[in-house]
Structure 1
Amino acid sequence: MPGQRSGRKAIRASDRALTFHTYGNRCAACGRTPKDDQVKLVIDHKVPLDLGGTNDPDNLQPLCEEDNHAKQALFADHEENAAALRTSLSLPEVHMRIGELLKSMEGQNVPKELIMLVAREENHGDPTKRMRELRALGWSIKNLKRREGRKVRSFYRLEHWEPWPRGGPQAAVVRLERERKGSKRVQDD
């Protein structure tokens, strides 16, 4: 097919149409539309094919060309961490995806954008909340901010980690939240 990368299966037209419809014909990253903002939308793989992603509709999203190129550049900047990214992206829970990426890059400043890509949370999940939850599980993660021109970029650096709790981190976070709410109710009484 013209314009298709060699060795890759084309995305079905019905899946392309469903993806655009699901996202309201808006860029999943910035919300801009072709009609209102004169941007061109392309179909993006949330998890890139070369990192284990598929053409399944739940792995597809529309991105404007600008955000798509930025995402490609971000992954290219971290090509040396491709194995860690592939492993992290394949894990079932968001805490594990983030945690395993941080572990594989322990001692390095990991950009927030990379954390968000690995988290794979719809509606731009809150990585700061995930970091707080990992800290509640005994992890030590430092947040760093660095001015780059007019922008301030956030980075996370893992300083200490704990083994994953039995039953998984999500269940442990839910349990800790219940305990916190229970102790708050007792204090309020």
Structure 2
Amino acid sequence: MTYTEEARSDAPYQPPWGLKQKDTFMEFTPCRDWYLNSFLPGEVNRQRTQTHDGLYHAYIVGEANTHAANHQIVREWRTMVREWGDWEKYREHLVKQLLSKERAEWKEVCKKDNQCMYAARSKITDLEAQISILSKKIEDAEANKEHVEIDLEAEKVKAAIAKEAKQRVEEARDISTSTLNIAQQNYAEA
């Protein structure tokens, strides 16, 4: 397939070299092939239009800048490597310090959560025992109702006991719910 000059100018550049995956720059032929074909045809044509003095001037300026930059890189290389090593040591130390601090904070949060949950569980157990006792009293009172004459005062006591039991059950639920919400929130924050 042939291209016009205009179509060829927009086509992707594919160097016509014979370099292989195994080639290295330790041998002359791959180096020469890379050097001759690494520049774009447009740039080669642009350089062809320069005068001998222009090419000489560009070469001297480019080489001087390249050597000066290389020289500075070599001078700073040891310093950069040393600074990088110091930074890595500092970062590692900082990470260890932060992790140990987070671990200590995590243990403290867990300790507080465990205390809250233990207190809530104890309160719930106590309230459940009281509910059981009050429920038994209610059952006994209902069983004895047929056999015992109950006056108005006894009815009031029974109603008060039932009301108290109901209030304690609701209090136990509220405390249990609140405690579990707090524990879940603390756990989520940790």
TM range (shorter): under 0.3
Relative to the length of structure 2, the TM-score reads: 0.17
Relative to the length of structure 1, the TM-score reads: 0.17
Which is richer in helix?
Answer: 2
Which is richer in strand?
Answer: 1
| Bigger Cα Rg | 2
Report which structure shows greater RCO (CA 8 Å, sep ≥6): 2
